[in-house]
Amino acid sequence: MNREKLVIIGNGMAPGRMLEELFEKAPGLYDVTIFNAEPRVNYDRIMLSPVLSGEKAYDDIIIHGDDWYRDHGVTLHRGARVGAIDRVAKTVTAENGIVAPYDRLVIATGSLPFIIPVPGHQLPGVLAYRDLDDVEKMLDIARNKGKAIVIGAGLLGLEAAYGLKRQGMDVTVVHLMPTIMERQLDPAAAYLLEKALTERGIAIITKADTKAILGTDRVEGVELKDGRILDGEMVIMAVGIRPASALARDAGIAVNRGIVVDDGMMTSDPNIYALGECAEHRGTCYGLVAPLYESARILADRLCGGNGEYGGSVTNTKLKVTGINLFSAGDFAEGDDREEIVLRDATAGVYKRLVLKNDRIIGAVLYGDTTDGSWYFDLMKRSVPVTEMRDTLIFGQSYQGGTTLDPRAAVAALPAEAEICGCNGVCKGKIVDTIAARGLTTLDEVRAHTKASASCGSCTGLVEQLMSITLGDAFNPHAVKPMCGCTDLGHSDVRRLIVAKQLKTIPAVMQELEWKTSCGCAKCRPALNYYLVCDWPDDYADDYQSRFINERVHANIQKDGTYSVVPRMWGGMTSSSELRAIADVVDKFEIPAVKVTGGQRIDMLGIRKEDLPAVWADLGKAGFVSGQAYAKGLRTVKTCVGTDWCRFGTQDSTGLGIRIEKFMWGSWTPAKLKMGVSGCPRNCAEATCKDIGVICVDSGFEIHFAGAAGLDIKGTEVLGLVRTEDEALEYIVALTQMYREQGHYLERIYKWAKRIGLDEIRRQIMTDAEKRQGYFERFVLSQKVAQVDPWSERVSGKDKHEFMPMSELKLEAAE
């Protein structure tokens, strides 16, 4: 069957959501081709601010990865800007020469930033703030710190200022109007926001008109019309946007401010639709995501043969600045035909204002406490009379009739069409229906299947309340537990904030993240120590007092107070000289027990604590380093003899195992890491129950991961097949680094894999070469400042954090 050809110009959030709806309603109905001017997949543009501030990475904001396009049969042309539409031939032509015929065409070209045409506006260093390319340019300049000037104190301008400040720049915001965010905030809320931003080190100058941007070869500063000169190496223009409608205008399609569409998102050409920021509906061009998603749903319905109609949207605004809670919606201007209700709590930093007209909410501004934003917004959209709750309205949904209600009852009272997640346009009904249809029980599952709370996270509380209502006792809100009693934060949030806030000491983490105790505890200090070692290998000095006793003395404590020592034997291989050295140590220190371990090494048990330095001194003379049998790190790489001796061996499994171990030894991981390399599918090294394993086959090396053979018994998952030993090493190292960066402390790799998702891990390691190479390079970089062998006091080119100096070990042993 010949399918109709659907061509989409633009790959932003609106067409992405439209395709999701289309594929859900009518999979296979169209042959879909997308032209994307950017050289990448679809990502969440409203999350660019957390990327700029360092709180998220690009991979965190991808909406549709490569697998999604492949699974849905979508042809995606990256870096292919469309230059012309031929409405007679029904084709589109990209500037790179690609031509695609269409039966239906969707124009989703978005918007263009407005650049004030003052002298100097074309200098290098003058940037807009619209896409990932802009963010990458900002981050490149921000690496040298210096000064940045943001022109415009609207939503994007303030988020840009915050992000650049987080990157260590000295930031000044200049704004033409008397108050900031004047389109979204009244003066009282604007005052509170300006105060909060000033306290964060961002200078704000209002009533400031830009005269010129100074510089010869690049930006050097900004001159204001009042004569003031501001120094700076970067200028961000954040003064507004305009619909990107030139392509449609050139094709003879009706254009006003934007591309004119009807209630079905159809243009003046019945075969062409417009969607997103480039479209103008009933005289309005929308720049926020919620109305774009609403119109995307209508367009998907029309493409399926439906008759859905888009009636316009009421919008709301939230500022994505960590620690500042702000919500604004509707019309809050003063007027004789309206009244207001105001609540101020100066001590708590809370300001609430509701604007009423004809006994209905027409505007809301909330600062400091935005809990009831969704409720007010729903009342506003549905034009609900508020007469009966007038006296208690300002106190929120859970306080009606003078008594405080269970917050869940308030959420239960919301209608099915009430918006829960504004970032992704997810209503209450969709969340409830998806939970029931898919049997979801965790917040992460709801995020994965509905996208609710998956972006800025401000609606997380509402989503959890909704899950509690829907699931009852089956919902455990503490499934993601705090690290310990010292903090309310979970491991993921702590890891994210350590990077976002550039916290590089344990005291800094505890202060900035508001620890409840002065010095932490035995649960959180080792975890914080690991996260800081992993995230800041160049800057952080390992805190040995935050390590367990086994790690501090490089031996495992036994039930009688003695210790066991396990020297490292690379890949389980040894020699007569090494065995003699071990035998001499056993005799000299009268070690009572010697055992061969499951990891193909020798364990000496019953060593007195005071003998540990001398034991290691003798072993060090023989070339031994610690086998780290105690470590939250790489312990063993078990091997079989492979092609060296076995008649069934297909590859040199022993050589590969030794290579992996020597390359990776001494690097801490969230939990212990055991590997195995088997020379053939007979699997004598038991690689298929290891954290990471390799099965050698005739065609190369099959990499496995996420196995377990302890308290839990679990076979491995197949990561993929590679052809060469070099590739095997690269992929294994990249996988380990991904685990190091994302794993929770004490979380084994199989539990991490379940939390992250096997397909996502395969995508990043097996499919995304750039991502894989990045992981590999970061591992290598961390190893260059890593691994000092303390026993012989010689540097072997590895991790300075991994081993305590001999002097420290002597002090520890003498206690």
Residue type, 301: D
Q: Where are the alpha helices (DSSP H) in 606-687?
A: 612-621, 642-645, 653-664
Alpha carbons 381 and 617: distance in angstroms, whole number: 75
| Beta-strand relationship, 602-607 and 593-596 | antiparallel
Contact criterion met (CB below 8 Å) for 660 and 729: yes
- Is 427 part of any known ligand binding site? no
* Residue 262: partners with Cβ closer than 8 Å, 6 or more residues away: 281
Alpha carbons 438 and 467: distance in angstroms, whole number: 13
Residue type, 280: E
Q: What is the DSSP letter of 602?
A: E
Residue 731 CB neighbours (<10 A): 24
Residue type, 790: P
Three-state SS for 263-308 is: CCCECCCCCEEECCCCEEECCECCCCHHHHHHHHHHHHHHHCCCCC
- Report how far apart, in Å, the C-alpha atoms of 675 and of each of 329, 665, 720, 723, 773 are: 55, 12, 16, 19, 21
**Token pair of 384 as six digits:** 């609900």
Contact criterion met (CB below 8 Å) for 677 and 656: yes
| Beta-strand relationship, 104-107 and 272-274 | parallel
DSSP 413-424: TS-TT-EEETTT
Residue 642 CB neighbours (<10 A): 24
Distance, C-alpha 711 to centroid of its chain: 31
- Is 640 part of any known ligand binding site? yes
Alpha carbons 718 and 552: distance in angstroms, whole number: 36
What is the end-to-end Cα distance of the chain in Å, rounded?
81
Distance, C-alpha 109 to centroid of its chain: 26
- Enumerate long-range contacts of 265-271, CB under 8 Å, 24 or more apart: 265/295, 265/298, 265/299, 265/302, 265/310, 266/302, 267/107, 269/87, 271/87, 271/90, 271/102, 271/103, 271/104, 271/105
- Report how far apart, in Å, the C-alpha atoms of 684 and of each of 477, 658, 688 are: 43, 16, 10
- Is 285 part of any known ligand binding site? no
- Is 304 part of any known ligand binding site? no
* Residue 543: partners with Cβ closer than 8 Å, 6 or more residues away: 506, 525, 529
**Token pair of 264 as six digits:** 């079905």
What residues are designated binding site for siroheme?
684
What residues are designated binding site for [4Fe-4S] cluster?
640, 646, 680, 684
What residues are designated binding site?
640, 646, 680, 684
